[in-house]
Amino acid sequence: MLTESLNVCRNVQRILAAREWSREYLAYRAHLSRKTINRVLDQPIGYPGPDLGTQLRLADALGISRFTLSEDPPVQSPIRNPQSPITNPALLRIRASKTGFIAGLIRLFTND
């Protein structure tokens, strides 16, 4: 139950950040109080997590299923530093193309 509660918290935070929504806007869309949204997102000590009704309202407001809301959040791959060297041979061929990006793509897919 605790893991599911943490998953709900992480997934809601991730979706809010991706959509650039405020907590107030989520509260409005979910027909929940701002206090309830804060309790879900801040996970105070002793809070068992949102009940089924709250989870259903959050999921509906976010346009996802309740089961998606309580799943493990996806593992995010680290962002590649633009200054780091490119190690993928396909990307190296495209970058090294003297005739341009499109020609590099054509060569990549025609195995020239």
Residue range 32-59: mean pLDDT, rounded:
89
- CATH number of the domain that residue 19 is part of: 1.10.260.40
Residues 29 and 66 in one domain: yes
Number of domains in the chain: 2
Summarised one tens digit per residue, pLDDT across range 50-107 is: 899 999 999 999 999 888 888 887 765 444 555 555 555 655 555 554 556 666 667 6
Among all chains, which residue has been given the structure tokens 């490119």? 86
For the chain, the C-alpha Rg in angstroms (whole number) is 22
Residues 15 and 64 in one domain: yes
pTM of the predicted structure, to 2 decimals: 0.62
Residues 60 and 92 in one domain: no
Domain residue limits at 99: 84-112
Residue 111 has pLDDT above 60, yes or no: yes
Residues 9 and 40 in one domain: yes
Q: Is residue 101 part of a domain?
A: yes
pLDDT confidence of residue 109: 75
Q: 13: burial class by Cβ within 10 Å (0-12, 13-18, 19+)?
A: middle
pLDDT confidence of residue 24: 93
Residues 64 and 92 in one domain: no
